[in-house]
Structure 1
Amino acid sequence: MKKDIHPQLNKLEIECSTCSKKHELSTTSKEVTIDVCSGCHSFYTGDTSVAKATGRIERFKRRASAARK
Structure 2
Amino acid sequence: MREQLLKAFQRNQIVAIIYISKSGEITKRRIRISKMSHDTFQAYCFLKRAKRIFLINNVLAVVPEFHREREVI
Q: TM-score, normalised by structure 1?
A: 0.31
Higher strand share: 2
Larger RCO, structures 1/2 (Cα 8 Å, 6+ apart): 2
- Higher Cα radius of gyration: 1
Higher helix share: 1
Q: TM-score, normalised by structure 2?
A: 0.30
